[in-house]
Structure 1
Amino acid sequence: MADTGRVIDLSVEVVGDIETVWRAVATGPGISSWYVPHTIEERTGGAATASFGPEPEMQIAGRVAAWEPPHRVLFDGGEGVGGLSFEWIIEPHDDNTCTVRLHNPGFGDDDPQYEAMVDGWKLFMANLGLHLEHFAGQTATSALPMVMWPVTPDEGWQILVGGLGIDEQPKVGDRLDVAADDVAKLGGKVVDVGPRRIALLVDDPAPGTAFLTSEDGGGFTMVSVWLYVYGPEGAAAAERDDPRWRAWLDDRAPAGD
Structure 2
Amino acid sequence: MGHKFELTKEIEMAAGPEQIWDAIATGPGIDSWFMGRSEVEPGEGGRTRFAMAGYVEESTVTAWEPGKRFAHRSEPGPDGTFMALEYLIEGRDQGATVLRMVQSGVLGDDWETEYEAMGLGWDMYLATLAAYVTHFPGRTGTPVSAFRPGAGDPDQVWAAVAGAFGLTGAVTEGERARLELPGLPPIDGVVDLAGLPTYFGVRTPDALYRFLHSGTDRGNALVVGHHIFASDSDPARTDQAWQEWLTRLPIA
Residue in structure 2 matched with residue 124 of structure 1 by the alignment: 125
Matched, 1:187 2:184: no
Q: Distance in 1 between matches of 2:193 and 2:251?
A: 27
Residue in structure 2 matched with residue 48 of structure 1 by the alignment: 48
> 1:136, CA displacement in angstroms?
1.7
Q: Give SS of 1:171's match.
A: coil
Q: Which runs of 5+ in 2 are unaligned?
A: none
Inter-CA distance 198–82: structure 2 relative to 1 (3 Å threshold):
closer
Q: 1:70 aligns with which of 67, 70, 76?
A: 67
Residue in structure 2 matched with residue 100 of structure 1 by the alignment: 99
Q: Give SS of 1:48's match.
A: strand
Could you tell which deviates more after superposition, 69-78 or 211-220?
A: 211-220
1:3-22, aligned counterparts within 5 Å? Answer: 5-22=4-21
Q: TM-score, normalization: structure 2? A: 0.85
Q: Distance in 1 between matches of 2:228 and 2:71?
A: 27
Q: TM-score, normalization: structure 1? A: 0.84
Could you tell which deviates more after superposition, 19-28 or 61-70?
A: 61-70
- Residues 69-128 of structure 1 show CA distances to partners (whole Å, capped at 9, x for unaligned) of 121111211489751111111111011011111101124485121111111111000000
Residue in structure 2 matched with residue 32 of structure 1 by the alignment: 31
- Residues 129-154 of structure 1 show CA distances to partners (whole Å, capped at 9, x for unaligned) of 00110112211111121222164333
Q: 1:200 aligns with which of 193, 199, 202?
A: 202
Q: Give SS of 2:180's match.
A: strand
What letter is aligned with 2:83? L
Inter-CA distance 220–107: structure 2 relative to 1 (3 Å threshold):
farther
Inter-CA distance 49–218: structure 2 relative to 1 (3 Å threshold):
farther
> 1:8, CA displacement in angstroms?
1.1
Aligned residues: 243
Q: Give SS of 1:232's match.
A: coil
Matched, 1:247 2:249: no
Contact 1:83 / 1:107 at 8 angstroms: preserved in 2? yes
Residue in structure 1 matched with residue 213 of structure 2 by the alignment: 214
Runs of 4+ off more than 4 Å:
79-82, 162-165, 252-255
What letter is aligned with 1:226? G
> 1:16, CA displacement in angstroms?
1.3
Contact 1:214 / 1:223 at 8 angstroms: preserved in 2? yes
Q: Distance in 2 between matches of 1:35 and 1:219?
A: 20
Residue in structure 2 matched with residue 60 of structure 1 by the alignment: 57
Inter-CA distance 165–133: structure 2 relative to 1 (3 Å threshold):
closer
What letter is aligned with 1:132? V
Q: Alignment RMSD, CA only?
A: 2.5
Q: Distance in 2 between matches of 1:232 and 1:143?
A: 14
